[in-house]
Structure 1
Amino acid sequence: MQDDLNWQVEQACRAAWPAAAEIVGDGWLFRQSGGRNRRSNSVNPLRGKRGAPEAVLDAAESFYASHGQTPLFRIPGIAAEVETALDRLGYQTEGGSIHLHAAIDELAELRDEQVAVSPTPSEDWLEARFRMGGYDDADRSIFRDMTGLIAGDKAFASCERYNEIAAVAYGVIRRGLLVVESVGTDGRFRQQGLGRRTVAGLIDWARRSGASAACLQVVADNTPARALYASLGFRRELYRYHYRRKAIAA
């Protein structure tokens, strides 16, 4: 049962942040979008039988070289067999995130009329997300395209302060599981509970849409974010993941 849940979450989170190009090879998924986002530009293991690490390494290096990118592997704790081969080739470790999960009934029930929820991102929502994330022009274009690729039920939530968007997040429901994504609060308006209210708005939307559970990914050392999510009911840790990037010779 735990293994089933882990892979359900793994698949739902990928679907909530689709890559422009995805190629499956021998039990591995090669994702490529360009830009700086690691999730949509990395090799990911798929559930089930996977090819030998040495074979996927050769394929990954060829695939990303063809796109002018450095090979990058996303390593979830539920499928980490490639680590030894990556160590041998000097791939460097970076990042580190946690998957959190909760049944919908375990999450806070807060309905806030000041939180706007829409099935599509408005220009104001996008501009706020770009401002909060420090996106360059290339990443702005990639993010716009990515949100347009999301399949299924989705919602884009925001909370205003002084007539401008101060906090954003979006959610995607896949097979009854809400995935919370892209949570951000403008630095000028932090410590006011706006991020919590915005995520709560997505939870309320998901509950009314029939979702039975929710999950999200949070950077392991982001203490404020983890406290925010715990206050909403996200207290169960499923598994962690990190990245391994090929070192570039000086």
Structure 2
Amino acid sequence: MEISATGRLEVRITAADVGKRVSVRRLADAAGSGEKFTDTVGVLASWDDGVLLITRKSGETVRIPEASLVAGKVVPAAPARRRGPAATYEELARVAARAWRPVESERLGGWELRAAAGFTRRANSVLPLGDPGLPLDAALDAVRRWYAARGLPAYVQTATGAEGTQELLCAELEERGWEREVTAELWIGALAPVADRHEGSGVVLSREADEAWLARYQRKGVSDVALKVLGSGPSVWFASIPAEDGGAPAAIGRCVVDGRWAGFAAVEVDPALRRRGLARRVMAALSARALDEGASAAWLQVETDNVGARGLYAGMGFAAHHAYHHYRSA
């Protein structure tokens, strides 16, 4: 907290600091009857009518009455990552978008409107990288009309927690009644350590998702549109470990190689065969192939409540880069 020369805490932020990363301390009891404090760090999204909105790295928006502030200051951006590949949010957002292409898209200034008959939010949401070229309310109206014409709900995909992410847009959407339905994280790591686990033991690689692979995939009844999305990307590989009984594979995975990046998705294991290293074998085989194609870094997406997957990926050297969210129109 900011401390004056007299040793007293001071509030050194104003409404002019909207858009900056701040650290504030406030009374836990807004009425001021207690001595306990609460600290909040995040992007100052707005300061209107005596209320501050601060968006944390997780995407959570905290409302803080101005009257409860006891200290506050502008703070530097979060420290750069100390392990794994260097990457900007925009680079990763574009790489992830190329790895999961919609069947239809349209530009609205710097926003990309994406649709794929409702198959996954990622392929049926707006990716707002830049200015839409319209006032926000007009842009959101255009988004609603575009998705309504296709019989789809309107979603906007935003991100928080890294330089260049969209904390301000998150706050604007929440103010307008858009509901955040899903929060996940994009994790990155070095590719070679993952490939080092590869022993060539029974993992089959293919350029297409065949019937066996789809039998293990969690999304059943995959349509032609879904197959197009699954097969989209610069260089797509599917991996599977055949089951001993000839049924659905014991484990599967998908990888898209795009320049220096290899993106992993759909890593799934037969529930009866979990904790036997099958997911690691799938990812190792895909990583070895990605290395052969010139990739050196890896990314993947994992939901915040998927404890098992987060433990697996952390053990393989991955760490969170930023959080991303899907907001649905009210």
User: TM-score range, shorter-chain basis?
Assistant: 0.7 to 0.9
Correspondence list, 1:154-233, <5 A: 154-162=236-244, 163-164=246-247, 165-233=249-317
User: Is this contact kept in 2: 1:97–1:240, CA < 8 A?
Assistant: yes
Per the alignment, in what secondary structure is the counterpart of residue 82 of structure 1?
helix
Cα separation, 2, equivalents of 1:134 and 1:27 = 31
Alpha-carbon shift at residue 185 of structure 1 (Å): 1.5
Give TM-score, length-normalised by structure 1.
Answer: 0.87
AA at the equivalent of 1:116: V
Q: For residues 156 and 12 of structure 1, do their structure 2 counterparts lie closer, same or farther at Cα, with a shift above 3 Å needed?
A: same
CA 166–18 in structure 1, closer or farther in 2 if over 3 Å, else same:
same
Q: How far apart in 2 are the matches of 1:140 and 1:75?
A: 27
**TM-score when normalising by structure 2:** 0.67
SS in 2 for 1:68: coil
Task: Provide the aligned length of Structure 1 versus Structure 2.
Answer: 239
Deviates more, 1:104-113 or 1:158-167: 104-113
Question: 1:64-121: per-residue Cα shift (whole Å, max 9, x none)?
Answer: 1111112111111112332233223211111111111112244351223211112222
Q: Counterpart of 1:100?
A: 187
Give me the CA root mean square deviation.
2.1
Residue 101 of structure 1 aligns with an amino acid whose one-letter code is: I
Question: Where in structure 2 are there 5+ consecutive unaligned residues?
Answer: 1-79
1:119 aligned residue (207, 210, 215): 207
Q: Tell me, which stretches of 5 or more residues in structure 1 are unaligned?
A: none
Question: Aligned AA for 1:118?
Answer: S
Superimposed CA distance per residue, residues 157-181 of structure 1 (whole angstroms, 9 cap, x where no aligned partner): 1112313312111111112200111
The one-letter code of the counterpart of 2:159 is P
Secondary structure of the corresponding residue to residue 168 of structure 2: coil
Identical pairs, percent: 29
Over alpha carbons, which structure has the higher Rg? 2
Aligned 1:143-154 pairs, distance under 5 A: 143-148=226-231, 150-154=232-236
Note the C-alpha offset of 1:153.
Answer: 1.7
User: 1:9: how far off?
Assistant: 1.3
User: What does residue 69 of structure 1 align with?
Assistant: 152
**8 Å Cα contact 2:157-2:326 kept in structure 1:** yes
Greater RCO, CA 8 A, separation 6+: 1
